[in-house]
Structure 1
């Protein structure tokens, strides 16, 4: 008797697990190219990584800068590409010089000897970390290939890389755009070109948008709801989500979202409610036991309020 293979990404989508509010990500990042075949389960370790490099990366992560490994076939395995975000700086470092580079980064010394021209456009990372979760291998790699092919075919201004774990395996295929720090999930073939075109115009692509990583989950929920409401009126404005929310009940919050589009301005009041879902966050969780409760936010009401930006 055959066994139906289960994937956390499919189960999450079937549950109605919302994308909005799931975009948590550190603002300070170090990205280091390393051949995908050598990646381990950890997002920043590889099987052939020298101990001196591994120790430096762990110390950098402990200091508050997230470290991800990235991969492209055209990148030499012996000369590594590194990026600092949000600084948007790019470096080329031979493997034997990595300990010196990482030490200089830790000690806030000059990195000029390794620096090359900054990226000419956004950096787009797509999680393909199969050693972490099989959804990222199954859905992430196909999406990475589609994104890279679309960029090459259309001459779009992106650098597309495979990446280790970006968070939210259940939302595969997942991606993040630097330096804007916008996160996406459930990207499939029909989303690839419109997502790239939207990001090329420096706008979030709403059908797959998880939110601005600089905001809290509640604020992300309100932000995405406001952007969708505005897009329905052919507006793509700048938006600012209030830091404070009005508590209507224990599980109900009301936030203000201010927007500006040229000379037009306005304010929206977005009501978000907490819901509890029982879900598996990763495919490994499926094998280890029943789903566990998770709290999510859902926008349930929105109204326009006359005010100044």
Structure 2
């Protein structure tokens, strides 16, 4: 089979490449609407972007705030919608105002002149960055259309946008939910409505859940394993990671996880081990390089350390 007929997402799935532990994402974000037809391979550059805007976006990214371009059909091409996360603020401005806005952001000056009503529900980005990876064009765009359609059909309180590269092209279709910073992968049509319903309830949708982006890969692995263990026993609970023992970087780690539901609480111990996979991280690698060795974390055992007790 030629490289043009292969997709890194399909190869990742067949390899058993886990979703859990792959949710790395910056907490501080600037999201800028820009017509998808003008996106370049870079996640924050467009072909018709003024040089000053391009340089300011690079500087903002270098200062520690991730910059992504976003798109949806109803957004006028010469008028821009911007989001700041985790501040959960939204702005509207013309293209002519954009350099002034970005300069004010860099200087930590007031942006209230451009501020509009903040999002009242979750913001959901789905990667459709075909110039970066063909899996995001094929699988990502189909997932975006399905998510957007479901939100409209069921009148759900989401803002859904297409996005440039979100990381993990091999896990397409990929999405991230703000401000919760939960990441998802391998979203199929069957996952769309359950995922949205779970997020509305404030819970991660486990079949596609990659983890909480604020956690390390091994912590994400333990978090997902604990949630799956609880779900298998009919328990919907919040979990928090307490401590770890073992050597995270090499052989083994054990994470203590506390959980709390509406009626009970308890504590779990999750044992995780590293695995080495030889995988392609993107479709661009399929024709040019051999698969790269990559370490992933796998939960090997979940053990109840404390009997759940009713909450008063």
Fold shared by both chains (TM-score > 0.5) = yes
- Tell me the distance in 2 between the aligned counterparts of 1:86 and 1:115: 15
Change (3 A) 1:21 1:289: same
- Tell me the distance in 1 between the aligned counterparts of 2:30 and 2:182: 16
Change (3 A) 1:100 1:218: same
Residue 7 of structure 2: aligned partner = 7
Indicate the larger mover: 196-205 or 228-237: 228-237
SS at match of 1:80: strand
Deviations 1:117-171 (Å, cap 9, x if unpaired)? 0012100000000000000000000010000000000000101000000000000
The normalised TM-score by structure 2 is 0.96
Deviation at 1:209, TM superposition (A): 0.1
SS at match of 1:262: coil
Residue 138 of structure 2: aligned partner = 138
- Does residue 1:293 correspond to 2:297, yes or no? no
The normalised TM-score by structure 1 is 0.97
- Contiguous gaps of at least 5 residues in structure 2: none
5 Å-filtered alignment, 1:24-103, equals 24-103=24-103
Deviation at 1:242, TM superposition (A): 2.7
- Aligned-residue CA RMSD (Å): 1.7
Change (3 A) 1:130 1:243: farther
5 Å-filtered alignment, 1:208-227, equals 208-227=208-227
- Tell me the distance in 2 between the aligned counterparts of 1:229 and 1:3: 39
5 Å-filtered alignment, 1:178-217, equals 178-217=178-217
- Tell me the distance in 2 between the aligned counterparts of 1:69 and 1:299: 35
Deviation at 1:2, TM superposition (A): 8.1
- Tell me the distance in 2 between the aligned counterparts of 1:45 and 1:216: 28
Change (3 A) 1:3 1:25: closer
Deviations 1:4-31 (Å, cap 9, x if unpaired)? 7000000000000000000000000000
- Tell me the distance in 1 between the aligned counterparts of 2:3 and 2:127: 27
- Does residue 1:161 correspond to 2:161, yes or no? yes
Check the 8 A contact 2:182/2:213 in 1, yes or no. yes
Deviation at 1:237, TM superposition (A): 1.1
Deviations 1:197-249 (Å, cap 9, x if unpaired)? 10111100000000000000000000000000111122221111135333499
The number of residues matched between the two structures is: 309
- Contiguous gaps of at least 5 residues in structure 1: none
Deviations 1:94-120 (Å, cap 9, x if unpaired)? 100001100111111000000000012
Kindly report structure 1 stretches of 4+ aligned residues shifted beyond 2 Å: 1-4, 242-250
Indicate the larger mover: 235-244 or 245-254: 245-254
Residue 284 of structure 1: aligned partner = 284
Change (3 A) 1:150 1:135: same
